[in-house]
Amino acid sequence: MRAVVIAIVLVLLVGCGGAAPTPHAERPAHRPQARELVYLYRVQGDDPMPDSISLRADGTAHVRRGGGGAGIKWVKAALDPQETARATRLVERAPWKALDGTTVKPGGFAGWDNDMRYMLRRGPWSITVTEAHLPRAIRPLLRELNAIIEGAKGRRLSSLLIAKGSATVDR
């Protein structure tokens, strides 16, 4: 009986980390994301391949491109200080409160439903408009956000392409 107790104690000591601790890889410190300035979701009619962008106060942008058979491409981009200042001014000047709740009536069957649609969100306000009926006051903001999505503004920090059965990371 005494041998059984000694064996159990030895097993517990070995199993409880009686040996020297093994080094663990340190995780990088978690950095909270900067405040979101504006979110844009754009889609051609009811096309299953939308694009979106989340533009943040620190000048970073999280872009999602496409979908469908081509896969989804996630891009993290950074704007330079002048681009960030311009985009921030455009976001702040947009008449969010006045346009809040603006929406689009879907065309449905036999109706026109292939216009480019833009769904924007900033804080508690949301706007949905079509290319054919863009309020003049938000056109500069949409041009700026579209340029970031298309890669004409900012620089790419990283990208991730998720296609059927694969994932590729660019750095």
Residue keyed to tokens 């003049």:
136
Q: Higher confidence at residue 152 or residue 164?
A: 152
Mean pLDDT of the region 14-40:
68
The predicted-structure confidence for 39-96, as pLDDT tens digits, reads as follows 999 988 666 678 999 999 999 999 998 866 667 889 999 999 999 999 999 999 999 9
The whole-number pLDDT of residue 37 equals: 96
Q: Which of 59, 68, 65, 58 is nearest to 40 (CA)?
A: 65
The predicted-structure confidence for 134-143, as pLDDT tens digits, reads as follows 899 999 999 9
The residue type at 13: L
The pTM score is 0.73
Question: How is residue 116 written in tokens?
Answer: 């480019």
Contact 86, 99 (CB under 8 A): no
Q: Which of 29, 83, 30 is nearest to 60 (CA)?
A: 83
Provide CB contacts within 8 A for 111, sequence distance 6+. none
Q: Which fold has domain 35-170?
A: Mago nashi protein (3.30.1560)
